[in-house]
């Protein structure tokens, strides 16, 4: 949604667009997290500490975002996504087996949440994909459990960012409400299909989404230099 907002409102200050995006995404992330939790066994012991830590550093990321141009970070996003995609394609069994790593608990979850929350607040696109990758790589989750935990963490960070941006009046509430309705419906359908189809299907979706995000964010990052 962030690339679409930047394309639709090229002359608008980026904090206003970021706040609109966060406000629009929060209800959909909430319903997706709830749908996963009601349809499978949510890894609460890992997801909750990660979500709380993620929310804390999301606040820091928001304030950095409000005072910093996004040009440099936009150049980094496709590179990070490309590295993740290459790793997933190289390891063909990545995310297909659910084998949580022993000894990696609350402390690791908090550290991961603290490290990744800054990105959520600062920029955001691809944060859900990054979280899924992290839960698979760090904790040994399959794509199903990684998606469930990722939605909960993503919701916590997004809601926090929406609150901070909103307190500064940086959100187009009417536009966000319309976007939220569509996001809400898509999140419900997506979570339902993911639970029905399983981790192998989710891996394929991950590859497709990551590829599209790489293409879109790469174009967005180089376009200013071509104009």
List the chain pLDDT tens, one digit each, 227 residues: 776 777 678 778 888 988 999 999 999 899 889 988 988 888 899 999 999 999 999 999 899 878 777 666 567 667 777 877 787 677 776 555 555 655 567 888 999 899 899 888 877 777 888 898 889 888 888 888 998 999 999 999 999 999 999 999 999 999 999 999 998 888 888 888 888 888 788 888 878 888 887 887 788 777 777 76
What pLDDT was estimated at residue 120?
Answer: 87
Q: Contacts for 96-101 with beta carbons within 8 Å, 24 or more apart?
A: 96/142, 96/143, 96/199, 96/200, 96/203, 97/142, 98/140, 98/141, 98/142, 98/144, 98/145, 98/199, 99/140, 100/43, 100/46, 100/139, 100/140, 100/141, 101/138, 101/139, 101/140
User: Global pTM?
Assistant: 0.75
What pLDDT was estimated at residue 168?
Answer: 93
Domain ranges of the chain: 13-226
């Amino acid at each position: 949604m962030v690339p679409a907002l930047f394309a639709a409102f090229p002359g608008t200050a980026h904090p206003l667009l970021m706040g609109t995006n966060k406000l629009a995404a929060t209800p959909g992330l909430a319903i997706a997290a709830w749908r996963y939790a009601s349809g499978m066994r949510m890894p609460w012991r890992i997801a909750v500490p990660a979500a709380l830590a993620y929310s804390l550093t999301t606040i820091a990321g928001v304030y950095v975002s409000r005072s910093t141009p996004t040009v440099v970070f936009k150049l980094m996003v496709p590179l990070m996504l490309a590295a993740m995609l290459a790793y997933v394609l190289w390891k063909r069994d990545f995310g297909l087996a659910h084998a949580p790593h022993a000894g990696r608990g609350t402390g690791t979850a908090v550290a991961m949440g603290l490290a990744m929350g800054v990105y959520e607040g600062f920029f955001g696109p691809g944060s859900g994909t990054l979280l899924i990758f992290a839960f698979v790589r760090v904790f040994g989750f399959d794509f199903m459990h990684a998606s469930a935990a990722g939605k909960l963490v993503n919701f916590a960070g997004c809601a926090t960012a929406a609150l901070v941006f909103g307190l500064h009046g940086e959100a187009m509430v009417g536009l966000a409400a319309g976007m939220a309705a569509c996001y809400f419906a898509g999140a419900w359908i997506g979570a339902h299909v993911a639970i029905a189809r399983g981790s192998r299907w989710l891996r394929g979706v991950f590859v497709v989404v990551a590829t599209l995000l790489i293409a879109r964010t790469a174009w967005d990052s180089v376009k200013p230099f071509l104009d």
